[in-house]
Amino acid sequence: MNRPLFCVFDTALGVCGIAWRESEAKDGPPVLVFLQLPCESEKQTEETIAAGAKAEKARRIPEHIAVIVETVRLHVKGIVQDFSGIAIDLDSLGVFSRQVLAACRDIKAGSTLSYGDVARIIHRPGAARAVGHALARNPVPLIIPCHRVLAANGGMGGFSAPGGVAVKARLLALEGVFLKGGKG
């Protein structure tokens, strides 16, 4: 399998990064392997995605990836986008994590589920805590919208991306979801 490539790009949230690998199918589009939400600096975002995706910096960005970058930019600007058609490689994750992420991928913008709801969807009703752990390993937050999963009481729950629950609240607010206390 070929080594992933990455690039970083400016967004309304800050500098994000995206990593992909070429498709194994002849003439197939690149497959997304990692999305890095903004870190403290562009350099830190670059270092984090390079290490997390085991990727090297791309010399050029394929058109298919440029379209995904623009889609991310629009979304975090407040023009809600549908990421469901983006090909993602989750092969490095276990079966449970892939099931959790598949269930989360179906959560539409403006909607939320609880960790327990996701556990029930994948037929593991007692696994709410494990769902949270699987979401913490989501390699493509935003594309697989783990920010749309909340605590059972309607509270924020956790968010392992840089910026933590403040970024989760901002992403939810962009989609019209505002939680108790006026925070998204």
Residues with a catalytic annotation lie at: 146
Phi, psi of 165 (to 5 degrees): -65, -20
Q: Which residues does 14 contact at the CB level (< 8 Å), separation at least 6?
A: 38, 39, 45
Residue type, 49: I
Contact criterion met (CB below 8 Å) for 33 and 55? yes
Q: Which single residue is written with the structure tokens 């490095």?
A: 92
Phi, psi of 77 (to 5 degrees): -85, -10
